[in-house]
Amino acid sequence: MLLRHTNANVTERQALTINPAKTCQPVGAMYAALGIHKCMPHSHGSQGCCAYHRSSLTRHYKDPVIATTSSFTEGASVFGGQANMLEAISNIFAVYDPEVIAIHTTCLSEVIGDDLVQIIKKAQDEGKIPKGRRVIHSSTPSFKGSHVTGYSNMVASMVQYFSENTGKKLKQVNLIPGFVEPSDMAEIKRIANEMGVKHVLFPDTSEVVNGPMDGKYHMYPKGGATVEQIKSAGDSQFSLALGRTGAMAAAKLLDTKCKVPCEILDLPIGLRATDEFIDNLRKIAGVHVPESLSVERGQVVDVMTDMQQYFYGKKVALVGDPDQLVSLAQFLTDLDMKVLYVVTGTKAGPKFDRRIKEVAGEHVVVKSGQQSDMFYFHQLIKGEKPDIIFGNTYAKYIARDEDIPLIRVGFPIYDRVGHQYMPLVGYRGAMRLLEKILTVILDRQDRDAPEESFELVM
Amino acid sequence: MTKFTNVNPEEVKAEILKKYPSKVARKRAKQIVINKVEDGDVVPEILANSRTVPGILTMRGCSYAGCKGVVLGPTRDILQITHGPIGCGFYSWLTRRNQTRPESDKDENFMTYAMSTDLQEDEVIFGGEKKLKKAIEEAVELFHPRAIGIFSTCPVGLIGDDVHAVSREMEAKFPDINIFGFSCEGYKGVSQSAGHHVANNKVFTDVVGLMDTPKDGKFRLNILGEYNIGGDAFEIDRITQKCGLTVHSTFSGNSTYDEFASSHTADLNVVMCHRSINYLAEMMEKKYGIPWFKVNFIGANASAKSLRKIGEYFGDKELRDTIEKVIAEEMVEVEKVRLDVLSRTQGKTAMLFVGGSRAHHYQELFAEIGMETLSAGYEFAHRDDYEGRKVIPNIVIDADTRNIEELTVEADDSRYAPRKSPEEMERMKSAGYKFEDYDGMMPEMKEGTLIIDDLNHYEAEILIEKYKPDIFCAGIKEKYVVQKMGIPLKQLHSYDYSGPYAGFQGAINFYKEIDRMVNSNVFKLAKAPWQESPELAASYAWTK
């Protein structure tokens, strides 16, 4: 057994996290920053953080992930990181020529109390930032929140630094996705385009970390939201935040800073969350939903009804990030599946627990925050065994030990491709999920059925 | 210029330096060296193990990664707790592919568990020691380990948590468990290398020498600096066993706590990765009298050479005969595959920028299939890994290195036992047998090759553009950057999830792997037909 020391006997832990169901803020901030066009993410801390985050994102996307670091040594840690940061800014503009440097802090620079606002101002005053170029920052200490919080903070910083209410109202809607894949961001744009709704989507990592292979390396690929676009978000009619933990902060800030009203929706994963997104967008923009989207929706419902017998009553266990978990729990419940456990290391608060129980039933065991980890998740699974696990790549150790199929969702996915290119959001995403779920259920049935009841048609 | 290229290295160097701000250019000029090998293997001086330039896209990681990730990570039954916020523990969780094979289903294996104190803001403000103690208690309750290692992350050092005091206190509470802490905060030193040293020191003071039970076997040795990535240590175990050697302990691939604790009972230390573990070899020699020398099991010829050298050390005729027999036997299949692959790889070129020894070792394997290394460099090595140990007395110790403790080691009162008499050692040395040796990468590389320390992204792009190598070797962060340019990249940290590449079977695996990579069709498919020939014939333009 790979996880041979795990048993079903759950004991309370107060200090030790085992096999975390979250990681730290900076990786989320780095990912979000990649969603700005021509941006160099910068990690203000010792260089190991940056190496770990780049490695992690690269393994997940199998595409180049760039980011620079302040490379703190012991001296910088004692005397402050200002000198390193200023040198880094000069070097980055000289060697890599980005439009934007998006700095995120680390536990190290937060503990020593580096004041990034002051450092950026100093760089500006000393002429280290070329004309028209921008340096922004986000405070993302690893001892608070999780990778989702880091993402959320960096997106809010984009608003803080770029968005402006210039007084003219633009006929556009802001779409702020939570921590989702580039394929999901592209799909959200496609849906809005299909509806004819002019929009600004940020951050936008599509065609950044899922770029094509064309024989050339592009340090700054085509994708990413431009500074102009993010700036114009302050003049938009409305913002839709897709995911409470990942996208709410930026939308709220647009409201307070630029007076752009907002609505916080669930991530549009699954049928009903997608319905809600499209219905809201329709009402805000005053448009009709085109037939093409109704057809896509109808196809999803078609598969749900056609194959209902296979979904019904199947037990599922979910580990991952709050926004995905809420929408997944709802979709799986809509499929007549029974959600047993929902675990996330991200501190999601009592609202999250309530919401999960609201969509999936009072029976669900929900745990979030400290020590809500995969060790605990595994212990629950050993108690009552689900038919399917939903989680990131690390859940495969549990899946193998317990002989339960795993459907990979969330971050990180180190061992499969697909998430970069094919969405989970929207009706197309729902269809992809249905296919994944049916495949694991029917493959199991094919594998385990007695020979006489091995079915040709299913 | 070398046989395989007409690119002028001076011009490439100038081109690289051109774009840098002057301060950076001055520093990098000392880290980019055009190789020249003079009599006595004298090579030009290179600047290494020096600070990374802030803001440069570097390959390097940190001290924590070197200590927890590299050196201790591969050990399966030392329960490892990362003390700090969650990230560090998360990223070092199973990502290095250190394989391990517990002897039975019941044996301990903690490698699949990432444990962390997940420090929160309150604990950063008021101190995290209380939480660490509680975490240790909880780990003991759940896992009953024999040994626990505590690994410090950046904030731990700054807030003043004393992991060593906590370890002592908890050890007093759990006297059956050996508990020790590592001050491997990420900001220590200039790269992973500092963490290797921290790890070596602690393993030496707190683990090695605790058990005086030797393993059975006539010719017992430890293999240092072999981390069993992709199963390399399994292959080395296979061939050494076949030769009649007993590998007492591997530091630290597929290893156990007991093997570490009793490793001082072996009669020889051989060193694979010089950079990460030479400290331990030196300290064990001083304290216990175990001689050490450098070996290399990467490459079939290198493996054969290393086995012969080990055979010669033990001096036993039967052993040496067996070694010859094993080499002859193994080389049959190796040669068959090698010659087949050679017909498709001969004359192709490679670049290697990785680690602290791999960029050197793997040149052997490429040479065996007729491929030349045009340029190479390490990510975190020191001058001695480039120029050879002969330069150690001349290496200037800077502030960053001084921050890493250098242990003073003396001979153990009762257990110091020179495995060979001083006369015997002298006799062997004068006959040309080398101990405590590492000649470094540069003396073995061709004249005119470019040696670059701490290569960065921008420089890699220029190298590829100028030299157009057939394959580039580095790590995951570099992989897709290089492959977008249409050049395959072989990861030499993770082996692209294959392996083993050590020993004889490993050489076969590597030959086949490189054959696949440099002769693959997929890289030729980057252009669509309409991109290859975009011109339109008028007669086709019917859609107007």
DSSP string, B73-109: TTBSSEEEEEESSHHHHHHTSSTT-B----SSTTS--
Across the interface, do A91 and B56 touch by the CB < 8 Å criterion?
Answer: yes
CA distance A383 to chain B (A): 17
Catalytically active residues of B are 62, 65, 96, 196
B120 vs A71: CB contact, 8 Å cut-off? Answer: no
Contact B115 A17 (CB under 8 A): yes
Question: Residue B220: its pLDDT value, please?
Answer: 98
The secondary structure element, H or E, covering residue B461 is helix B457-467
Angle at A96 between CA A91 and CA A99, to 5 degrees: 105
Res. B5 pLDDT band, cuts 50 70 90: confident
Query: For residues A314 and A442, is the Cβ–Cβ distance under 8 A?
Result: no
- High-pLDDT (> 70) share of chain A, %: 100
For the entire predicted model, the pTM comes to 0.97
Residues A285-309, mean pLDDT to the nearest whole number:
98
List residues bridging with A319 in a β-sheet: A343
Q: Are A333 and A359 in contact (CB under 8 A)?
A: yes
Among B121, B134, B187, whose Cβ lies nearest the Cβ of A72?
B187
Helix (H, G, I), strand (E, B) or coil at B182: strand
Please name the member of A4, A45, A67 whose beta carbon is closest to the beta carbon of B154. A45
Q: Is A297 left (phi over 0), alpha (psi -120 to 50) or beta?
A: alpha
Q: Which whole number is the average pLDDT over A41-60?
A: 98
Size of the A and B interface in Cβ pairs below 8 Å: 260
Distance between A212 CA and the closest CA of chain B, angstroms: 8
- Chain B residue numbers with beta carbons less than 8 Å from the beta carbon of A413 are none
Alpha carbons B348 and B370: distance in angstroms, whole number: 7
Q: Give chain A positions within 8 Å (CB) of B118.
A: 17, 20, 370-371
CB B400 within 8 A of CB B191: no
Alpha-carbon span B496 to A405, nearest angstrom = 25
Determine the length of chain A: 458
**C-beta atoms of B85 and A45 within 8 A:** no
| Mean predicted lDDT score pLDDT of chain A | 98
Residue type, B451: I
For residue A104, the surrounding DSSP H or E stretch is strand A100-105
CB pair distance less than 8 Å for B54 and A91: yes
pLDDT tier at B1, thresholds 50, 70, 90:
very low
- 8 A C-beta contact, residue A282 and residue A410: no
CB contact under 8 A, A16 and B134: yes
**With 70 as the cut, is the pLDDT of residue B537 above it?**
no
pLDDT in tens, B433-473: 999 999 999 999 999 999 999 999 999 999 999 999 999 99
pLDDT digits (tens, 9 = 90+) for A246-287: 999 999 999 999 999 999 999 999 999 999 999 999 999 999
CA distance B72 to B236: 19
- Edge to edge, the sheet with strand A17-18 lists A17-18, B115-116, B78-83, B147-152, B178-182
Residue B182 falls in which region: left (phi positive, over 0), alpha (psi -120 to 50) or beta: beta
Active site residues of A: 107, 111
* d(C-alpha B267, C-alpha B204), whole Å: 17
Question: Which residues of A fall within a CB distance of 8 Å from B112?
Answer: 2-3, 19, 397
Scanning the structure block, which residue is given the tokens 């103690």?
B133
B108 CB neighbours in chain A (<8 A) are 5
Question: What are the respective helix, strand and coil percentages of chain B, to the nearest 5?
Answer: 50, 15, 40
For residues A266 and A331, the answer to whether their CB atoms sit within 8 Å is no
Name every chain B residue with its beta carbon within 8 A of the beta carbon of A46. Answer: 62, 154, 186-187
Per the CB < 8 Å rule, is B527 touching A77?
A: no
Put simply, the answer to whether B158 touches A111 (Cβ < 8 Å) is yes
Q: What share of chain A is helix, strand, coil (3-state, %, to 5)?
A: 50, 15, 40
Min Cα–Cα distance to chain A from B121, Å = 5
* B190: nearest Cα among B321, B374, B76, B52: B52
Among chain B residues, CA nearest to A10: B142
Interface with B, mutate which of A17, A63, A394 (most B CBs under 10 A): A17
Structure tokens that stand for B25 in this block: 């250019």
The position carrying tokens 């380990």 is B145
CA distances from A152 to A30, A104, B228 (A): 11, 12, 39
| Spatial distance between the Cα atoms of A314 and A324, rounded to a whole number of angstroms | 20
Query: In the prediction, which pLDDT does B383 show?
Result: 97
Verify whether the Cβ–Cβ distance B118 to A17 is below 8 Å.
yes
- Tokens for A6, please give them: 């795990």
A53 contact residues in B (CB cutoff 8 A): 91
CA distance B349 to B471: 7
Residue A121 one-letter amino acid: K
Q: What is the pLDDT of residues B266-290, one digit of tens each?
A: 999 999 999 999 999 999 999 999 9
Q: Would you call A446 exposed, middle or buried from its count of C-beta atoms within 10 A (0-12, 13-18, 19+)?
A: exposed
State whether ipTM is beyond 0.85.
Answer: yes
Closest CA to B224 of B150, B305, B306: B306
Q: How confident is the model at residue B540, as a pLDDT?
A: 54
Closest approach of chain B CAs to the CA of A136, in angstroms?
Answer: 15
What confidence tens digit (pLDDT) does each residue in B467-506 have?
Answer: 999 999 999 999 999 999 999 999 999 999 999 999 999 9
Partner-chain residue, chosen from B21, B85, B113, that has the shortest CB–CB distance to A107: B85
Examine the pLDDT at B7 and tell me if it is beyond 70: yes
pLDDT of residue B542: 55
Which residue's structure tokens are 């030797």? B214
- Measured between beta carbons, which residues in chain B are less than 8 angstroms from residue A56? 91
Chain A nearest CA to B277, separation (Å)? 20
Distance separating alpha carbons of residues B544 and B535, to the nearest angstrom:
16
- Cα separation, A100 vs A451, whole angstroms: 62
Chain A nearest-CA distance from B187, in A, is 5
| Contact assignment for A72 to B24 by CB distance below 8 Å | no
- Joined together, the tokens standing for residue A179 give 């921590």
Model confidence pLDDT, tens digit, residues B135-145: 999 999 999 99
